Amino acid sequence: MVDKVASHYTGGGDLASTIAESLRRAGKDIDKLGTADLATVDEFHIRGRKATLELAHSLGLVASAHVLDIGSGLGGPARTVAETYSCRVTGIDLTQAFCDAAATLSGWVGLRDRVAFRQGDATSLPFGEAEFDAAMTIHVAMNIAAKDRMYAEARRVLKPGGRFAVYDVLQGEGGEVLFPVPWAREPSISHLATPDAMEALLAGAGFRILAVNDSTEESLEWFEAMAARMAQAVPAVTFQSFLGEDFPTMARNQVSNLRDRRIRTVTYICQV
C-alpha cells in the first residue's frame, strides 16, 4: 500500500529536473526564483498558497518557532511558512523523491537554511516528544487509513500549548467519490473521513478544537477556474508535472465531486 501511494504521486523520474524544465519553458530563470514562482506546482492542495497562509496565520507563529509539516510533499507550504514568519520548518513525507525535490527547490529560492525534509511515516514520526512549537498537515490523511495514529503522533511531538492545523479533503454527503482524483486513481488508496469522524479523531488524540472552517464552496470555485484554464491550454507549470497526463481528468472530477458534495474541504485548528 505504501508503494502504491508513493508511485501515484511520483510515477518515477527526477521531479526537480522535470519542474526545472517546465519553469524554463515558462520563461523563468532558475537562479532568480521566489517562492511565489513555484506556487502553481509546489502548493499541491486545493486553494494553493492562499490556503497555506490562512493555516499559518492560525498557528500564531513567531520567528523562534519550529514547525512540523506532516506530509510535506514538494515543500511549498514549508517554504511559504518559513519565508513569511522567518521561522524553521521541518517537513516529513512518505516519498523520498518528494523529499529530494523539496530540498532542491528550497535551494533555488534561498531557503535551505530554514527548511529541512525527511522521509518518514506520519503514523510513526521519527521525532522525540514535545519537539515542535506547532504542526500542520495539508491534504495528507486522505491516503492514510490509520488516522488515529497519525493524530496521536502529531500530539506527541508538540509542546504543551502547541497548535495543530489540519486542512483536508473529507467525505461529503453527496455519494461516493468519482475517480481518478489528485490523491488517488482508484479507491484502494483513498481513505476519507467524514466531518463527524474527524472531530472525534482529533478529540480522541487529545486535541482541543479551537475552530472549524468549511471552505467547500471556495474550493469549488478554485477547481472550476483551474479546469477552465486547462481546457483552453495547459499552463507550463502545474501538478501535471508529476501526476501525469490524466491530471485534467482529475481536475474535472474534482469539480463534480465538490459540486455534488461528494467531498468537502475543511480546516481544523487544534491545540494541545
| pLDDT of amino acid 2 | 58
Q: Which residues contact 203 (CB under 8 A, 6 or more apart)?
A: 209
pTM for the whole structure:
0.91
Task: Report the alpha-carbon distance of residue 106 to residue 42 in Å, rounded.
Answer: 11
8 pLDDT more than 80: no
pLDDT tens readout for residues 236-250:
556 666 666 788 888
Q: Which of 10-19, 218-227, 234-243 has the highest mean pLDDT?
A: 218-227
Supply the mean pLDDT for the chain: 90
> How many structural domains is the chain composed of?
1
| pLDDT of amino acid 39 | 79
9 pLDDT more than 70: no
Integer distance in angstroms from the first to the last C-alpha of the chain? 31
pLDDT tens readout for residues 157-198:
999 999 999 999 999 999 999 999 989 999 999 999 999 999
Give the residue numbers spanning the domain of 67: 2-271
Least confident of 27-36, 44-53, 75-84, 141-150: 27-36
The pair phi, psi for residue 171, each rounded to 5°, is -70, 125
Task: Report the alpha-carbon distance of residue 159 to residue 206 in Å, rounded.
Answer: 13
Q: Is the dihedral of CA 198, 201, 204, 210 positive or negative?
A: negative
Indicate which CATH number applies to the domain containing 19: 3.40.50.150
